[in-house]
Chain A
Amino acid sequence: MIPFDFEYYHPSTIQMAVDLYQHLHEQGKRPLYYAGGTEIITFARANSIQPGAVIDLKSIPECNVLAMQKDMLIIGACVTLSALSEANPFPLLSRAAQGVADQTARNKITLGGNISGRIHYREAVLPLLLANGRMVIAGTHGIRVTSIHQVFNQELRLAGGEFIVQVQIDRDYISLPFAYFKKREIGHVGYPLVTLAAFRINHEIRTAYSGVCAFPFRSAEIDEALNDSSLPLAARIELAIGHLPAPLLDNVEGSPAYREFVLKQTMADAVHTLERR
C-alpha cells in the first residue's frame, strides 16, 4: 500500500497536461508525470518519493502513436514495452524492450517511463542512443524536437514541467544489422551485469551499454577503439575499457572485476557477431 495520498489527473491533451503541471507545481504539490507508473508505484510504496499529484499521460492520443510516417518511425511515450515488441517496428528496440523486467510487467511499463526512470538500467534507451533518436518534448514553451543526445546524459534531463511525447527514429536505422546481449548473474529475468546493444553501420560498429556503470551510455571513444582495425581484437577491447565514462558498477549483481570480465567477453561477442553479418 502506498502510505500517503496524492492527487490523480488524466488530461486528454498535451496542453492540459502542461497546464496542470504548472498549476500543481505552483501549489507546491510536487507533481510527477505518470505513464506506466510502475516505478512511481514501487518507489511510493517504499516512501522514497512523495509526489503530491500524478498526471497520467495515457489519455493523450499523441502519446499512444506507433506508426511509420514517411521515413520516420514514431513511437508514443505511453506505448508499452510489450506492445512495442509485439508490433516489432524496430527489431533492436524490440529486443531491448523484451529484456526489461518480465512479460507481465512489460504490459504496463512504457517506453517513456523506462527512459525517464531512476533505476540504473533503462535499457530501452540504448537503441535510441545508437539510432540518434529524436525526442518530441512538450513543455510550457510548446513542443520541441531535439536529439536524444541533447537531453539524455546519464539520465533524462528535461526542464521542469516538460515530458516526452514521442520518440522519432529515422527509417535508415531500423533494419541495420545488430547485436544485443543482456548478461545476468543468473536466469532470464532481472537486472544485468552487462547489456550491450550494437549496430553495424557503414562498416563500423556502434555500441551502447547498460549495467556497466550507474547509467546507460554510448561513447564515441569506445566505438573508436573497437573499430581500430590496426589492432587485434583483445587490444581494441583493452583500449575501449580504458574509456569507460565512470567506475564500473559494484552491487549485488556483480563486482567491478567480474563486470569487467563479462564486459570484455560481451564486447568480443558483439564484434564477432557483427563482423560475421
Chain B
Amino acid sequence: MSSFDADHHRVELQVNGEQRTVRVRAAETLLYTLRHHLGLTGCKPGCNNGDCGACTILVDSQPMKSCLMLTVEAWGKQITTIEGLMGTDVQRAFAENQAFQCGYCTPGFIMNCEGLRRVHPHANEETVRVWLESNICRCTSYEEIHRAVKDVFTLHTDKGRNL
C-alpha cells in the first residue's frame, strides 16, 4: 500500500479475480469503496453498524461485513462480492426456492452461505443455524432461505438426521 499522505492511501485490491487500484481515505469502509469507487452495488448498505449482514462479502473466503472493514485493511486480500458469483449452487437454490421477497438482504445471505459452503462444505444443522444468525431479512423470508440452504448442503445432524 502506498500512501499519498497519512490519511489517504492508494490501495491495490483483488476483487472478483481482478486487480483494482483505488485512492481512498484511510477512514473509508470497504463497503463504500466497493459501491462508490468500483460500482459493485451488490453489497448493500443496511445498518452500517455490523448488525444486519446486508453488506456481507467474502474476504479470503471468509464472510465479512464490509461496513466493519476499512478499505486499507483489505490490501492483499482476495475479495469476492455477489457480482463475482456466476450461477453457483447457492444462487440457484435461492432462486428456485424464491428465498427472498424484496431481495435487499439477498446478496448478503448468499455471500454468507457461499462462505459457509467453502469453509464447511458438510455443515451440520447447528453450524448452519449459527452462521445464518449473522443476517437479517426484514421481510422474514427465513423459511424459504432455510429451504434454499437445505438444498445446497447435504446436511446431517450429529444424530444422522437430515436437516
Q: Which A residues are closer than 8 A to B by beta carbons? A: 1-2, 4-10, 37-38, 41-42, 44-45, 53-54, 56, 58, 82, 98, 101-105, 107-108, 188-189
Contacts and interface: CB of A to CB of B under 8 A. Distances in A.
Contacts of A82: 62
Contacts of A58: 73
A103 to B, nearest CB: 5
Contact of B6 (A1, A37, A53, A104): A53
Contacts of B97: none
A180 B25 CA distance: 42
A37 B112 contact: no
16 contacts: A1-B32, A4-B27, A8-B9, A9-B6, A10-B1, A37-B70, A37-B73, A41-B29, A42-B50, A44-B27, A98-B130, A102-B134, A103-B63, A105-B50, A108-B64, A108-B65
B81 interface: no
A108 B28 CA distance: 17
Given A8-B7, A8-B70, A102-B133, A2 B65 contact: no
Contacts of A6: 7, 26-27
Given A1-B29, A1-B32, A8-B70, A107 B62 contact: yes
A41 B49 CA distance: 8
Contact of B68 (A7, A41, A54): A41
B83 to A, nearest CB: 19
B133 A5 contact: no
B6 A45 contact: no
A2 B56 contact: no
Contacts of B112: 104
Contacts of A45: 48-49
DSSP class of B's interface residues: helix, strand, loop or mixed?
A: mixed
A45 B51 CA distance: 14
A42 B67 CA distance: 9
Interface string B120-161: 000000000111011100000000000000000000000000
A105 B135 CA distance: 10
A5 B6 CA distance: 10
Contacts of A42: 49-50, 68
Nearest to A108: B68
B58 to A, nearest CB: 10
A38 B49 CA distance: 9
Contacts of B28: 1-2
Contacts of B130: 98, 103, 188
B133 A103 contact: yes
B29 A2 contact: yes
